[in-house]
Amino acid sequence: MTHLWVRAEQRPNEERVGLAPEGAAALVKAGIRVTVERSSVRAIPLDGYVAAGCDIAEENHWPQAPADAIVFGLKELPEDGTPLSHRHIMFGHAYKGQPAGRVLLQRFKAGGGTLYDLEYLVNEDGRRVAAFGYWAGYAGAALSLKCWAAQQHGSIAGPVRKVPSKDALLAQLGDELSGLGRPRAIIIGALGRVGTGAADLCEAMGVAVTKWDMAETASGGPFPEVLQHEIFLNCILARPGCPVFVPASAKTDARKLTVIGDIACDPTSDFSPIKVYDRATDWDAPALRVHDDPPLDVTAIDNLPSLMPVESSEDYAAQLLPSLLTLTDLQAGVWGRAKVEFDRHVAGV
């Protein structure tokens, strides 16, 4: 019997889960055994999984899961260097030259395990079968506006915490923008999931948006128009050949730009299109000031959808469920393609 083991997330400020109780019930009905770990932080209560017929395990017990279990989580595993012997479904962030990604692949190689990277679960046309993109864009645009509002008061954005819903986020942001005008934003990748979420948030807050996508960036740059907007929202994943949208010189160039929301957030990749910063920000310090006068802040949090963990989890889980139902045949379809990608990259470490 195929056995899916849903682990608790161990990263701070991460309350999402990739399987909702309704999906768990569908998997059990299809003959797949589902074990769900207890979690002190998961946004969706355990009761629904119990009712769905799942087995329940103790929190963070996945290293002792049966050898044939497929361990399913979203974000990083503890960086303790231990070999990884299980098959894991997760966001690995390991295929674009990231230093931490190489270490992760070495752990899989040492333990004989396999990574089925959620970012590389794609259909026959190469399109991802499930993504948190819309909510990442929505939350990333909101945090960028928070950064801009803080600048208007002569400060830098402070800690951010989860909200119970989209409506609560809009109300919170409205309070912070009260009495202020509105900046102009430019979104690159505006036609994708991430860009659509970012544009929707901007529209809800009365922010005028310039929407760019592949046609507008086909020239390869430079793109001086980016510097003529107060906010730039990057919604394009870093890939080989990706043009540079914000060069290192932007810190001191003449510009109206004061906030960069790097929603794609891949600063350690060689392909990053934003060259004014080199590390992600976090929930306690969401803004990184890279230049003082005039200010230029970068916000780049790599688990943005956790700002609204319930809504983003339910949306993502519904997208992913059809693929999880095919876990009984890991050699075919999305899982087979993900295994080929893993084999190609692990061979190089």
Amino acid in the structure at residue 258: T
Q: Which of 43, 33, 31 is nearest to 6 (CA)?
A: 33
Question: Can 75 be counted among the known catalytic residues?
Answer: yes
- Yes or no: say if 158 and 150 are a contact pair by the CB < 8 Å rule: yes
DSSP structure class, residue 242: P
The answer to whether residues 92 and 67 touch, using CB atoms and an 8 Å cutoff, is no
Neighbours of 346 (CB within 10 A): 18
Catalytic position from the list 75, 88, 162, 345:
75
Task: Report whether 5 contacts 32 (CB < 8 A).
Answer: no
Strand partners, 289: 297
Q: What residue type is assigned to position 307 of the chain?
A: L
- For CA atoms 73, 74, 79, 82, the dihedral sign is positive
Exposed, middle or buried: residue 159 (CB in 10 Å: 0-12, 13-18, 19+)? exposed
**Cβ pair 206, 182 in contact under 8 A:** yes
The verdict on whether 211 is a catalytic residue reads: no
Out of 93, 96, 229, 345, pick the active-site residue. 93
- Give the CB-side neighbour count of residue 58, counting CA atoms within 13 A: 3
- Any idea which residues carry the catalytic annotation? 75, 93
